[in-house]
Amino acid sequence: MQLGEKITLMRTLKGLTQEEMAEKLSMSTTGYAKIERGETKLQNPRLEKIADVLGMELSDLLSFDTKNVFNFSPENCTHNHFAQGYILLTETQCVHELEKAHFMIEQQNKEIVYLKEIIELMKNKSDMMDSR
């Protein structure tokens, strides 16, 4: 994903229009649109301001090698949560992923109990062998 595409995605997820972004950056809408199309070379101060308006760290804005997960709710684009990456999920998909995670934790807990039982049986067998 190119920088302009990432800026566009983040702006959209924040529920901002190009006009609103341009206003917050004190520039023309046409000038801002060129940023999103990748037609403008961005200097550090402008990049910092864009990251600030988008509510993210500059390093996150510039990173392209990590996965980011977005909880994308079409009803309300101002409550999007993300963590390193770009996988768009609906609320239903997030609920499904959470259910899968809970199931995996439950399975791990069952396995831990089972392994503890095996350890206890082995200890008991060892104690019996030692007492002979």
> What's the chain's average pLDDT?
81
For residue range 73-117, what is the model confidence (pLDDT) as tens digits?
444 444 344 434 445 666 777 778 888 889 999 999 999 999 999
Strand order in the sheet with 87-89: 82-83, 69-71, 87-89
pLDDT for the residue 105: 93
Using CA atoms, how far apart are residues 113 and 119, in angstroms rounded to an integer? 10
Nearest to 63 by CA among 79, 77, 78, 47: 47
Structure tokens at 115: 């392994």
What's the whole-model pTM score? 0.52
Q: Which residues, in sequence order, are CB contacts of 101 under 8 Å at separation 6+?
A: none
Residue 88: enclosing H or E segment and its boundaries?
strand 87-89
pLDDT confidence bin for 70, thresholds 50/70/90: low
pLDDT confidence bin for 128, thresholds 50/70/90: confident
Structure tokens at 123: 């200890």
Using CA atoms, how far apart are residues 40 and 59, in angstroms rounded to an integer? 19
Contact between 84 and 66 (Cβ < 8 Å): yes
- Give domain 3-89's CATH superfamily: lambda repressor-like DNA-binding domains (1.10.260.40)
